[in-house]
Amino acid sequence: MEKIISFFTAITMFFSYLFGISVPTADNMELMKNDRLFGLSALVTGQGITADEDYYYTAGSAFVQKAGIGVQFLGKWRADNFRQVKVNLNPIPREYEKNYGCGHIGGISYADGIIYAAVEGTDYSINFIFLYDADDLSFITAYNVSNEILDDGIPWVAIDNANGFAYCTKWAESDKLLRFNLEDMSLSGIVTLSQPVSRIQGGEFYDGSLYLSKDVPHSTDDVIYKVNAVTGEVTQAFTTHLTSSDNESEDIAVFPREDGSLFHIINYDKIIGVNVTHFAPIEK
């Protein structure tokens, strides 16, 4: 009997997920829209997101178990209806796969017509920031970044375009925020955070602040931090509540839309698909 009940619970969860009965929520945020993506669309979206006036840009990956290889994707979507306008099915040039084992794109960030993407080598000892043309998603160039602190890969990158910097943290717990010069990705400095952070999936600059998306492990309550990248002060901006323990928060885009939404957060269900959830701050 228990098996039958759990079977029907699973079926109900599947259909409620499919038909939008349950969607992610967030404290002090109004849910404006939830875009749900399946199949190839989900694969193109599962890891990274950023935005400009007219579009969202996403990164995703798939692992082909039998072949033992990972496949990476970049996507471009209309901001008003989340329809796909472009996809790059082979964003990592062959030489970077062959020479460095680059097989993972993490968090991404947009500035001045360029998509910046965090790309890891196989053994996490070599890390890159790849640049792509936001117009057609074509590869421009790659910068090798210091692995002095990034000894477990490069999970994300966020661009402070006004001041000409790129930022990231390592994946494991650390109180070090790394700052790179945008023109050549040389290390500009290391900012000590007021509290250590871990499992940061992605970030974005907005209005002078750095917003970071953290996956809290084994929890459906994930966290968005607000960071002062000059002083290193970290505060908790808000908490998101995901629909299932199989879901994991990924990258964030912060961009004001006409409907009032500002925070656009990916969460990835390892079984079914991807939510891109659009939240508007509730004025107090």
Q: Which of 127, 251, 265, 273 binds Ca ion (CB under 5 A)?
A: 251
* Nearest residue (CB) to Ca ion, 120 versus 251: 251
Q: Are 262 and 279 within 8 A, CB to CB? A: yes
Instruction: Name the residue nearer to Ca ion (CB basis): 160 or 204.
Output: 204
Contact 158, 107 (CB under 8 A): yes
Cα angle for residues 145, 155, 24 (degrees, 5° grid): 155
Burial class (CB in 10 A: 0-12, 13-18, 19+), 161: middle
Q: Which two tokens stand for residue 68?
A: 């033992």
Site track 75-114 with Ca ion (rule: CB under 5 A), x = hit: --------------------------------x-x-----
The nearer residue to Ca ion, 3 or 218, going by C-beta atoms, is 218
Give the whole-angstrom CA distance, residue 14 versus residue 36. 13
Q: What is the nearest approach in angstroms of Ca ion to the Cβ of residue 208?
A: 16
Closer residue to Ca ion, CB minimum distance, 41 or 213: 213
Among 35, 215, 250, 269, binds Ca ion (CB under 5 A): 215
Q: What are the helix (H) ranges across the chain?
A: 2-18, 39-43, 94-100
Candidates 56-64, 186-194, 250-258, 260-268: pick the segment binding Ca ion (CB under 5 A).
250-258
Q: Could you tell me how many residues of this chain bind Ca ion (CB under 5 A)?
A: 10
Q: Which of 35, 120, 160, 222 binds Ca ion (CB under 5 A)?
A: 222
Contacts of 270 (CB under 8 A, 6+ apart): 246, 248
Nearer to Ca ion, 219 or 231 (CB): 219
Out of 198, 216, 238, 281, the residue judged to bind Ca ion by CB under 5 A? 216
Short-list 112, 17, 57, CA closest to 252: 57
Alpha-carbon gap, residue 59 to 91, rounded angstroms:
9
Query: Site for Ca ion (CB under 5 A): which residue of 145, 202, 225, 264?
Result: 202
Residues that bind Ca ion (CB under 5 A): 50, 107, 109, 202, 204, 215-216, 219, 222, 251
